[in-house]
Chains A and B, each alone.
Chain A
Amino acid sequence: DAKTTQPTSMDCAEGRAANLPCNHSTISGNEYVYWYRQIHSQGPQYIIHGLKNNETNEMASLIITEDRKSSTLILPHATLRDTAVYYCIVLKTSYDKVIFGPGTSLSVIP
Chain B
Amino acid sequence: GAVVSQHPSRVICKSGTSVKIECRSLDFQATTMFWYRQFPKKSLMLMATSNEGSKATYEQGVEKDKFLINHASLTLSTLTVTSAHPEDSSFYICSARDFGGRTEAFFGQGTRLTVV
A residues in contact (CB < 8 Å) with B: 32, 34, 36, 38, 41-46, 49, 85, 87, 94-95, 97-103
A94 to B100, CA, bound (A): 10
B residues in contact (CB < 8 Å) with A: 4, 6, 32, 34, 36, 43-46, 49, 91, 93, 95, 97, 99, 103-110, 112
- For the complex formed, measure the closest distance between the CB of B101 and the CB atoms of chain A, giving whole angstroms: 10
A43 to B103, CA, bound (A): 18
Cross-chain contact of A94 among B99, B108, B110 (Cβ < 8 A): B99
B43 x A41 contact (CB < 8 A): no
A49 to B36, CA, bound (A): 21
Cross-chain contact of B46 among A44, A46, A97, A102 (Cβ < 8 A): A97
B105 — which chain A residues lie within 8 A by C-beta? 36, 46, 98
- For the complex formed, measure the closest distance between the CB of A79 and the CB atoms of chain B, giving whole angstroms: 20
Most buried by A among B4, B107, B108: B107
A99 — which chain B residues lie within 8 A by C-beta? 46
B44 x A100 contact (CB < 8 A): yes
A97 to B97, CA, bound (A): 10
A103 to B76, CA, bound (A): 29
A87 — which chain B residues lie within 8 A by C-beta? 43
16 pairs of residues in contact across A and B, judged by CB atoms under 8 Å? A36-B107, A38-B44, A43-B95, A43-B108, A43-B109, A44-B44, A44-B93, A46-B105, A85-B43, A94-B103, A95-B99, A98-B95, A98-B105, A100-B44, A102-B43, A103-B43
